[in-house]
Amino acid sequence: MSHSPRRIATAGLLTIVLAACAGGGGSAGTTPPGGKAAPPTQSTPLRPPQTPDKPDPVESALAEMSVAEKVGQLFMPVLYGTSASSESGENQARYGAQTPAKVIRKYHLGGVILFPQNVRSARQVVGLTNGMQRAAKGVPLLVATDQENGLVARMSALMTDFPGAGEIGAKNDLSLSRAVAAATGRELRSLGVNLDFAPVADVNVNPANPVIGRRAFGDDPKKVAKMVSAAVKGFDDAKIAATVKHFPGHGDTTVDSHSGLPVINHTKAEWERIDAPPFKAAIAAGVDAVMSAHIVFPKLDPSGDPATLSKPILTGLLREKLGFKGVISTDALNMGGARTKYDDGEVAVRAVLAGADLLLMPNDLPKAHRAVLAAVKSGRISKQRLDQSVTRLLTLKQSKGLLAEAPAASADEAARVLRSAEHRKLAARVSGG
């Protein structure tokens, strides 16, 4: 879905089906001249050592899970309705259960993603996120959305109208990038959202790019890297998980990965110079998650598979070369770029085998869930590989305080934070110059 220069926050099935972050939804330090940089230290908070009187909450949660519950932790679909108990024919048709709460329990979901169709008022969204958290019971949910600001702003009906990355990048002011991310994070957190699929780390070097454009901070890799690092720190200030996207870099495409499969023909040296710096900077800044792109990058992996399904890219490059230890999320698996070669079950299995931890918006959740579960039971996905992903997801939840106590948003707090005078003044600063 190409994005015209307007805010993308329209409710409706078409928006949701085509959504996700490589084009709206559902989505690091530079190498020294003449040498190779050592992989940056990934600063996702480490779990404290286990002691006899204080068990590690991540290890404890993992030990109590069945295989089916572990598999469920990997999935993050969009659910339909404005409360956890809303009955929806869409939920029934897609997932075999009518309410968000029943879908969460049926699949032991680890996360959900919110779209405009879930949003009516602040009090209602707080009730929805709290109700879904109660439905999750044992392990709290990652509740996510795409709030990049600007062109992609799923919660714009309730939140401050912050300019997007393109406008912030044009100011060339790192303090603004950090401040806007922090304010965005505080508003999301007040609603019960704990993960944002932002910021965009793509370097928009192709003016004909139909899907990134002003969603990026700009076309200069060094400047984009600094802006992305500042935004990651801002989200961390707000205690919300940030996700940089779309690895290994979606900036030089002329095809929209919602409907097709883009190919980027950068050499490895060009990737190091153009695409890699913002991701390296984000990792050095301690970013919580990295989202894959549904793009083919032949010089990084000649298989013809998109990066989302590429072990050389997700494991070899992102994990091993760049040293990223956090959560790898797919872009939405209902997008055309992810589904050109394999069916919906095989796509999910191959994403896990490639190195993904979070499977965002599978086109057919029941089929994808069955396929991953069967792959684990057959040994195609080893139990060790499954535990690696679940441990990363639980560690992220622990780092945001979600395992320590059941998360609950407050409608009164949301009323105080959303569109506050301070945040409106910040938005005006970015817009007004």
> Catalytic: which of 3, 246, 250, 258?
258
Cβ within 8 Å of residue 321, ≥6 positions away? 39
Query: Chain centroid to CA 21: how far?
Result: 7
> Catalytic: which of 275, 301, 331, 364?
331
**Is the separation of the CB atoms in 134 and 140 below 8 Å?**
no
Annotated catalytic residue 258: yes
Cβ within 8 Å of residue 118, ≥6 positions away? 79, 80, 81, 82, 125, 128
Annotated catalytic residue 331: yes
**Active-site annotation, residues:** 258, 331
